[in-house]
Structure 1
C-alpha cells in the first residue's frame, strides 16, 4: 500500500467515526441528507459509508422512517469496554456503601492510559448523579474532584502533557482556568489527600474525592461523592473522613488484602 493509499484509508476511518458520532447525537437517528449537511460531506460519499456501516452492523437502516440509527454491534463494544475497565465486586460494594453512608451519589474513577475515566457510579432518586457523569465519562479533569485527585497523582511531565492536550476550558464561572492556580490546588490535594470542587463542573453540585493507591503508593484511581452545595458545606469534615476510609479499603481490595478500616 502506498503512502497516499494509507492516508486515504485513515481519512475514511476518521469520516466513519464522525458519521457514527453525528448519528449518535440524534435520539431518533438521522437521514442521509441530514448527515451530509451535518458533516459537509457529499451525499454519494455518505451513502457509500452508510452502506458499509450497515453491513458491519454498526448502524441500522430504519427504512420506514428513511433514517439511520446506531447498530447493535455498538452494544457489544460497550459491553467489552465495561469488561476492560472493570470494577471488581468488592469495589462496587464499597462504592454502594459510600453512597448509603454519605447520602450522596458515589463514583469510582480510574486512570486508563491517558484518560481519567468514571468506571462505576451508584445513585438513587434521592441522590442522583451529576449529568453527564456516568460510566465512561472522561472529560474536564480540572473541574472535577476525582479528576483533580488523578491529576495530582501524575508526574509533572505527564500532567503538563495532559493539560496541554485538554486545556482548561471554562465550564462554569467557578471553573479554574489558570495553570498556576490549578497547580497550587493540586499541590494541596497531594498534601491533604482530598480534592474538592465547588460548582466548578455544574452549578448546583459540589464534589469531594480521595485517592485510590497501588501497593507502591501510586494513585491509580479515586472515590468521590457529589451533593448539593449547602449539604456539602454542612458535612464537609464528615464526608472527608468517610472518603478516606472508603478509598483506603478500595485500595486494599484491589491489592487483594483485607479491607479492615484503618
Structure 2
C-alpha cells in the first residue's frame, strides 16, 4: 500500500468517525466509535487526537465523550454561502408556501448530488423530516429529485444510481431502475413530478422544474402535504407551483446578472 493510499484511508476513517460523533446528540465515547466502525481503540484514539487538535472534535472530559468541534460551524457557514439562494428566490419560495398553503422547497443539482437549497414551512405546514437545507438523499423517492433526474439522459441516470443507489424507504418507494425510468418518462412528458408517500409515510409531494431562457433546468420547486390534503388539492396546486417555478427561474436569471453577493442578502 502506498503512502497516498494510507493517507486516503485515514481521511475516510476520520470522516466516518465524525459521522458517528454527529449521529448522537450527546456525542460518542471512544468505545462507541470503535464498536460502530469496527476500528481498534488505539486507531480511534489516534484519529481523535488529530481531530481534537484541528478543532473538528472536542473532548468532553467530564463526560468521557467526544462531540463535534466548533470548526465545523465555519464549514457549515461556508456551505450556506456556496449554496446561497438569492433573496428574490427565497421570497418566491416563501410566496409559494403561502399561496399553496404547503411546505415549499427549492432544490438544485450541485456536483453529483441533488441538494435542498431552501425550505419555507410553518407550524401548520411543517417540512418533511429530515428534509432541510443541505439534504441530499433519496432523489429517486422525492418529487424534486425526480424532476432533476428527468433532465439527465439514460446513462447519466444510471451513473447517478450507481453512486447513490435506490434505497427502499417505504413500501411505495420505486425499487428498480426500470420502474424509475418509466416514472422519469412520465415526468418529462407532463413537466411535473408526483411523489405519494415514497420518501416517508404521511407526506406526499409535487414538484416542477425551474428552467432558464434556453430551457435548461436550473433547479426544482416542490411542495409537500399530508396525503389526504394532497389528494384533494394537488390539481389546484399544480398551476400555482408552475407559476412559482417560472418566477424562481426569472429571479435566478436576474441574479446571474448581478455582482457577486448582491442578490443573496
In structure 2, which of residues 98, 103, 106 is the aligned counterpart of residue 105 of structure 1? 103
Counterpart selection for 1:256 from 248, 254, 257: 254
Post-superposition offset of 1:83 = 0.8
| 1:216 aligned counterpart, secondary structure | coil
Report the TM-score, using the length of structure 1 for normalisation: 0.94
Q: Structure 2: where are the runs of 5+ without partners? A: 256-265
Deviation at 1:215, TM superposition (A): 2.6
Structure 2 partner of 1:16:
14
- Determine helix, strand or coil for the equivalent of 2:185: helix
CA distance in 1, matches of 2:115, 2:43: 34
Greater Cα shift, 209-218 or 69-78: 209-218
Question: 5 Å matches for 1:117-132?
Answer: 117-132=115-130
In 1, Cα distance between the equivalents of 2:213 and 2:149? 19
The CA deviation at 1:185 is 1.7
1:109: how far off?
Answer: 0.2
- Equivalent position of 2:201 in the other structure: 203
1:235 maps to: 233
Q: Deviations over 1:178-211 (max 9, x none)?
A: 3222212211211211100011111111000000
1:51 corresponds in structure 2 to: 49
Matches of 1:168 and 1:67, distance apart in 2: 35
Structure with larger RCO (C-alpha < 8 A, sep 6+): 2
1:237 is displaced (CA, Å) by: 1.5
Partner residue in 2 for 1:160? 158
Task: Give the deviation of 1:61 after TM superposition.
Answer: 0.7
Q: 2: CA distance between counterparts of 1:170 and 1:123?
A: 26
Stretch moving more, 170-179 or 244-253: 170-179
- Runs of 4+ in structure 1 off by over 4 angstroms are none
**Could you tell me how far apart the structure 2 residues matched to 1:208 and 1:96 are?**
16
In the alignment, what sits opposite 1:36?
34
Cα deviation digits, residues 142-172 of structure 1 (max 9, x gap): 1100000001111222112112222222211
Secondary structure (helix, strand or coil) at the match of 2:221 reads strand
**In structure 2, what is the Cα distance between the partners aligned to 1:215 and 1:179?**
31
Give the Cα separation in 1 of the matches to 2:32 and 2:183: 45
**Could you say what the CA RMSD is over the residues aligned between the two structures, in angstroms?**
1.2
TM-score (norm 2): 0.93
In the aligned structure 2, how far is the partner of 1:210 from the partner of 1:79?
A: 29
Structure 2 residue matching 1:118: 3-state secondary structure: strand
**What is the aligned residue count?**
255
